[in-house]
Homo-oligomer: A and B are copies of this chain.
Amino acid sequence: MSPDSSLPARALAPRRHEEILRRLGAQGSVSVAELAGFFDVSRETIRRDLKLLSDKGQLGIVHGGAARFEPSEPAMSLRSHENAGGKAAIGRTAAGLVTDGMVVFLDSGTTTLAVAQAMTDLRDLTICTASLKIALLLCHVSGMRVHMLGGEVDPGEEAASGIDMLEAMSRFRVDVAFLGGGALSPDGEVTDFTRAGAEQRSRMIALAAKTYFVLDSSKFAKLTPLRIPNFQRAAGVIVDAKPQADIAEALARKGPELMIAS
């Protein structure tokens, strides 16, 4: 094939592809003109390169160049208004499960933020959360003690994460935990976007006396890659609409109760 020949004044295609991907990783986007100048090839050639890489799913082509795919879910600020009504209903149902004196853990996410909103009428709770917005909201409610879990802040979630957060979390004795999730999978489990998220939620299930997942119906149609260990030990899954019958059945077999908010 190509014995790593000394650079023949022109970079070969694989070398270009490598460099293009490297730049994408570093800068997030590349332009056709810039690459054509850098490799000293025509713009058509660069476009063909980008087309190839695009067909392999390694980048997305935009007018003037190419951009990297955002691997994660959209940022929190973009999600907060989606299905607001359904989330509020879930919040009311979740708040109904809480009584005075309890220690409550609230996961980060827009649905759990709605749960926090619904809890502003309650008193005498100890709240434990890694979400900046939930802490900010509930710390002003009289009678609530809020413990913020520290750690590196994830901009997408607007919440602390990482090893420090896991360690801080593990110190608490929690009566009830409300967790978010990435999707409700066809086999009746809640799944997640990231290893870290799945691990954190798994630990919380083990830590809390009772754990409920809160998922609005926009999560039904999705698929996310990570299973959450211990899921079957959760007490329930609170949703705002009836999922497909087979998913409900699969969930019932696992154990957690399906609760439909209204």
Contact = CB atoms under 8 A, between A and B. Distances in A.
Contacts of A132: 132, 135-136, 139, 148
Contacts of A139: 132, 153-155, 158
A74 B2 contact: no
A63 B153 contact: no
Interface string A33-57: 1100110000000000000000001
Nearest to A24: B77
Given A69-B81, A113-B71, A132-B132, A160 B148 contact: yes
Interface stretch (A8-16, A223-231, A232-240): A8-16
A150 B153 contact: no
A2 B146 CA distance: 46
Interface string A149-171: 11111110010100011001000
A140 interface: yes
Contacts of A168: 150, 164
A90 to B, nearest CB: 15
> Is chain A's interface secondary structure helix, strand, loop, or mixed overall?
mixed
Given A135-B153, A146-B152, A151-B147, A29 B4 contact: no
A150 B158 contact: no
Given A25-B75, A74-B137, A133-B136, A14 B150 contact: no
A18 interface: yes
A78 B68 CA distance: 10
Contact of A150 (B9, B77, B133, B149): B149
A58 to B, nearest CB: 6
A256 B62 CA distance: 46
16 contacts: A2-B37, A4-B34, A4-B37, A8-B31, A9-B31, A12-B29, A13-B63, A15-B67, A68-B77, A71-B80, A74-B140, A133-B136, A146-B152, A147-B151, A147-B152, A148-B160
Closest 7 CB pairs of A and B: A150-B150, A146-B153, A139-B153, A139-B155, A71-B80, A12-B64, A148-B160
Given A4-B38, A136-B136, A146-B153, 19 more contacts: A4-B34, A9-B33, A12-B67, A14-B29, A14-B62, A18-B28, A24-B77, A57-B78, A57-B81, A69-B81, A71-B81, A74-B140, A132-B139, A139-B158, A148-B148, A148-B150, A148-B151, A148-B153, A150-B150
